[in-house]
Amino acid sequence: MRLGRWAWLLPLPLLAVLGLFLFGLGELVWSSFAGPEGFGLDRYRQFFARPDYIDVLFRTLWVAALTTVVSLFISYPVAYFVARYRGRKDWLLVLIMLPWLVSVVVRTYGWIVILGNRGLLNEFLGWLGVIDAPVRMLFNTTGVVIGLVHVFCPFMILAILAVFLQLERQLEEASMSLGAGPVETFWRVVLPLSLPGVISGVMLVYLMSTGAIITPLLLGGLRDRMLGTQIYQEMFQLFDFPKAATIAVILTVTAFVVVLPLQWLERRVSRNLKGAA
């Protein structure tokens, strides 16, 4: 089919979306700098002057980092298993994505049932005799990390799986034929070759964790706010839009401080693996 002279119309929707996005972003950054006493860093000074906000910032980074690391350790073996599974992989993929058929809110409420002081897990541990008093796993950092790991693991699994699926089985066999046992083969061949997937999974989960709202809102304690919930609170409870904008900018900047080096690393690693596929 020839598009002819109407072809220039095609990019228009894209430009419209891009324009709106950039306008929103510009507006956000602008309102964080524009204060009652004119343009300046006033709002940022106010933010960093409050120890409770600093706490929120560091808690956000800590929870995001913890969520990322735990997700990685759970997802890596799962991705490897799926990649090497000789039967039908598509069913395993369906299983991995299945939680996404249920809304995040519902799934998070599910965790309340499991993790609560009188929840399934505590009752079970008590029945086993492992604990005397219920372990607090809800409305604190533990609860938030468990909830976030559950929500984000599929992303990590898919990111790593994408690399594993391109990894030729024969590379591992070559390693073994040269005398490397399974452990040595993992460290010398499998892990280095899967790094691009690991890095993109880490970036993905870390970014999503820093911006998470629903899970920390439901599973986190009132005192354990994160930047996402703080923004939510400023906007919908206190209607302080400029402050919300300021926190949003700080959130974005801190997220990218971690992601940019990772991106550089990924590009480096991928370049070394050129011709791997």
Partner 1 sequence: MSQTDTLLAIDRVVKTFGSHRAVDGVSLDVRRGEFLTLLGPSGCGKTTILRMVAGFEHPDSGTIAIEGRPIQGVPPYRRPIGLVFQNLALFPHLTVGENIAFGLRVRRRPQEEIARSVDEALALVELSGYGERRVHELSGGQRQRVALARALIIRPAVMLLDEPLGALDLKLRRQLQLELKQIQQRTGTTFIFVTHDQEEAITMSDRIAVMNGGRVEQVDTADRVYNRPSTEFVATFVGDTNLLSGRVAQAGDGEARVSVPALGRDVPAPAGSLRAGDPARLSIRPENIRIAGPDAAWRVEAIVRDVVYAGAAHRYTVEAGDMRLLVAAPANPGTAPLAPGQRIAITWAGADAALLAASAA
Contacts with partner 1, residue ranges (CB under 8 A): 168, 170-171, 173-181, 184-185, 188-189, 192-193, 272-276
Residues in Cβ contact with 230 at an 8 Å cutoff, skipping those fewer than 6 apart: 53, 56, 247
- Asked if residue 247 lies in contact with residue 234, where contact means CB atoms within 8 angstroms, the answer is yes
Q: Measured from the CB atom, is 262 or 273 closer to partner 1?
A: 273
At its nearest, how many Å lie between partner 1 and the CB of residue 164? 14
Q: Measured from the CB atom, is 4 or 275 closer to partner 1?
A: 275
Instruction: Tell the residue number behind the tokens 């066999």, with chain if given.
Output: 173
Q: Measured from the CB atom, is 36 or 179 closer to partner 1?
A: 179
Q: Measured from the CB atom, is 116 or 196 closer to partner 1?
A: 196
At its nearest, how many Å lie between partner 1 and the CB of residue 101? 35
Q: What angle do CA 249, 59, 124 make, to 5 degrees?
A: 135
Q: Measured from the CB atom, is 171 or 208 closer to partner 1?
A: 171
* Rounded CA separation 39/267 (Å): 38
Query: Residue 34: in which H helix or E strand, if any?
Result: strand 34-35
At its nearest, how many Å lie between partner 1 and the CB of residue 163? 12
Q: What are phi and psi of 104, to 5 degrees?
A: -60, -35
Q: What angle do CA 16, 210, 73 make, to 5 degrees?
A: 120
At its nearest, how many Å lie between partner 1 and the CB of residue 196? 10
At its nearest, how many Å lie between partner 1 and the CB of residue 188? 7
